[in-house]
A and B are shown apart, each in its own frame.
Chain A
Amino acid sequence: MSDDMKDELAEILGEFLAESLDMLQEAEGLLVELEGLSEQGGEPFKKALDSIFRLFHSIKGSSGFLELHHLAALTHEAESFLDRFRTDGAALSPEAVDVLCQATDVVGAVLSVVSRELGDGVCGPMVQAMVERLRDADKLASGPEPEPNPAQSPPDVGGAAALPEPEPPQAEQAHQEEVDKAPQAPANPAPAAPEPTGRGEAVAAGPVAEATARVSLGKLDALMNLVGELIIAEAAVTHHKELEGLALDGFQKASTHLERITRELQDVAMSMRMVPVRQTFRRLLRVVRDTARQVGKEVELTVTGEDTEMDKSVVEALVDPLMHIIRNAIDHGLESPQGRLDAGKPIKGTVHLEALHQGGEVWIRVSDDGHGLDRGRILAKARERGVLRGEGDQLNDHEVYNLIFKPGFSTASTITSISGRGVGLDVVRNNLERLGGSVDVDSEPGQGTVFTLRIPLTLAIIEGMLVRVGTSKYIVPLLSVRETLRVSPGSVTLLPGGQELVHIRGRSFPLLRLYQLHNLAPDHRDVHDGLILVVEHSAQRYCLFIDEVVGQFQTVIKSLGQYLHDIEGLSGCTILSTGEIGLILDMSALSRCGQQRTERQRLALGA
């Protein structure tokens, strides 16, 4: 095939693959709900079955005229199997749902191959094996019924491919027509061999979708970058030094107008990247189901806030941490069925997934109604693993529970094949912090545990407080700032270990002198001469000693580049309207830095 033809094929397949993967994810989510729905029966169950059927049917239609014969055969077989329950009224067993889940896995695998090879020729054996499994399950489901019509086998596949199928645009139109039609009963009960195109099989349509366009994430990224640059450039123009002191009413009005348009542009660009968490939560349903089966517990996953929207790339990055936490909750958090009965709890454990907007962040909570965290056991393990020195008596419960995130806490004995492939909660925390977010855990002994993930709404722009120490300027994420104040002389105590505490209204907080941490020459060295910034990170408060607060701005985050991207304590930089570069402080790393520095001092003093 010539390169041009290859490119064209890749483009067509690209569209198909993107849509099919979306549909597959939806189908998977529905499949997991199916078991629960089948107990109730009635309309919801029917609707779910119809939706899943429609999804497989779509993929089948497209794969037919794209000459992906194996994929067409597989989806066709899955359709037939689904019809046993959809139209023949057979009872849906957990085993049947298992087989359907496997089928979606194989479809996913084939799609992967297609994206690499631009064809599914090599998928023969894999597809054949799955088709066999579907047929076996089909026989079980239908019981003593006549053998499936032989005409439904290979010739059918050929039939699907040889259909007088029009070019893609027309088929898409057909799909659209389906979606636009009001819900109708299936016109064609039995999946007869030479099937007409999608138009014939009218299936119950979902809610009418609003007009959408498919845009590559790359383009959205580029757009966000440009908008970021625009904001910086706009500030450089409207706040140019050469304009200082000039009375420019007309210019002022024009700048304000420009500023307003730029902000609106930014809002729209950001909103383009927002997707509801629903899809991601759906994938987690599958994880819950599989894990529960593996460890022999009964689990129900409830979800709230599915419509909460998040930046698409952030959502993607959360899948692994959430999977890990959920597996953890089911494997270790929930008691065994017997244990639950003994505790007077319902046999079915509950894992609750919640998403909500809070301030400029999205909060995702994973809670379970298991036995909760045991303070004593955590302290013992922390001491054993060298994570904690001393007795830990001075730590409150919340601090003890959060020890489980320390590196080295989870080891081979706690990592089963379920909850980790050598992945610990410390990796989860690292991943979250790399996104500028945080995670912490809380618990009620005997009642359950809740993990809270906090992530900024967007990765590109933050509300920042610009502060100055000497000649250096830093950005502190506004979300972290609780208070700014001056303290009176004598408010600081130096502890024997080298750490400093500052006392504010009867409470004490660790004090970090930014100039010491960053080796700067500050205006002030006496705490009472400068400013104190009270900041909070992961529910822990500490104080930063700075010279001055310059202002509050919407800050476009720029990376420090390949060479400096991993400097501890910094999460990026920004270009100020003066052209200077402000470094953005990483609040989680900062508190760690402070602790480490104190440690080094202590060691140096031989204490």
Chain B
Amino acid sequence: MSELIEPAQHNKYLTFVLDDVSYGLSIGHVVEIIGIQPVTPVPHTPGFICGVINLRGQVIPVMDVRIRFGMSKRRYDERTCIIVSQVGDTRLGLVVDTVSEVLDIEPGQIEAIDQGEPAGVETCLAGIGNIEGQVKLLLDAQRLVSRQGWLGHG
């Protein structure tokens, strides 16, 4: 991870929204952000894997983060975005309700959390950021894209 993030990029997070909750993903893992586009379903994958998309000739798998976190599925509209993330060798698109801004969140503003039960949101959280009273749930990218999350999702 450290080779992806230049010193100036540490502490910068891309924030996005699911329902009314705000999440943050370290921008070191963000390759690009695109609008929602047709997804080709792939069989034998858990419900939170929508399928694959064709991004300028590249085939990229796409995950519906709402479903991954156990929320209800939401109809995609013009604000729905796909965050193309890269974690190690894995490139994965994340479908989110809408993308907000890039924020600076210092380590001092982050509260650690206990890892909860598997498969829920809790296991994917790296910490809770608190900026001027606004709470951002910071994601652990590694855990988010880990195939371990497939267990228990049938």
Interface of A toward B, CB cutoff 8 Å: 229, 232-233, 472, 517-520, 558-564, 567-570, 573, 575, 579-581, 583
Contact = CB atoms under 8 A, between A and B. Distances in A.
B61 A563 contact: yes
B92 to A, nearest CB: 6
Nearest to A564: B61
Nearest to B49: A564
Contacts of A583: 40, 42-43
Among A472, A517, A580, A581, chain B packs the most CB atoms within 10 A around the CB of A581
B57 A560 contact: no
A65 B90 CA distance: 45
A575 B147 CA distance: 25
B10 to A, nearest CB: 26
A472 B41 contact: yes
A235 to B, nearest CB: 12
Contacts of A560: 42, 52, 59, 61
Nearest to A559: B59
B54 interface: yes
B91 interface: yes
Contacts of B40: 472, 573, 580-581, 583
Nearest to B52: A581
A581 B39 CA distance: 9
Given A562-B90, A562-B91, A581-B54, A573 B59 contact: yes
A571 B42 CA distance: 12
A336 B19 CA distance: 75
Interface in B1-51: 38, 40-45, 49
A579 B57 CA distance: 8
A412 to B, nearest CB: 31
5 closest A-B pairs by beta carbon, nearest first, are A518-B43, A581-B40, A563-B61, A562-B90, A562-B89
Given A569-B43, A583-B40, A564 B54 contact: no
Contacts of A519: 43
Contacts of A232: 57
A517 B61 CA distance: 20
B54 A579 contact: yes
A560 B54 CA distance: 11
Interface in B33-87: 38, 40-45, 49, 52-54, 57, 59-61
A580 B54 contact: yes
Contacts of A570: 42-44
27 contacts: A233-B57, A472-B40, A517-B43, A518-B41, A519-B43, A560-B42, A560-B61, A561-B52, A561-B59, A561-B60, A561-B90, A562-B90, A563-B92, A564-B42, A567-B43, A569-B43, A570-B43, A570-B44, A573-B40, A573-B59, A575-B57, A579-B54, A580-B40, A581-B53, A581-B54, A581-B59, A583-B43
Given A567-B44, A579-B54, 5 more contacts: A472-B40, A561-B59, A562-B89, A567-B45, A570-B42
| Size class of the B contact interface (CB-based, 8 Å) | 20 to 34
Nearest to A576: B54
Contacts of A518: 41, 43-44
B137 interface: no
A473 to B, nearest CB: 8
B96 interface: no
B145 interface: yes
Nearest to B91: A561
Given A563-B91, A581-B59, A575 B42 contact: no
Contacts of A520: 41
Most chain B beta carbons < 10 A, residue from A518, A562, A567: A562
A130 to B, nearest CB: 42
A564 B54 CA distance: 15
A568 B43 CA distance: 9
Nearest to B39: A581
Contacts of A581: 40, 52-54, 59
B43 A564 contact: no
A575 B59 contact: yes
B52 A573 contact: yes
A472 B43 CA distance: 11
A568 B42 CA distance: 11
B36 to A, nearest CB: 16
B135 to A, nearest CB: 30
A560 B45 CA distance: 13
Contacts of B52: 560-561, 564, 573, 581
Nearest to B88: A562
Contacts of B92: 563
Contacts of A568: 44
Given A560-B59, A561-B91, A563-B61, A569 B54 contact: no
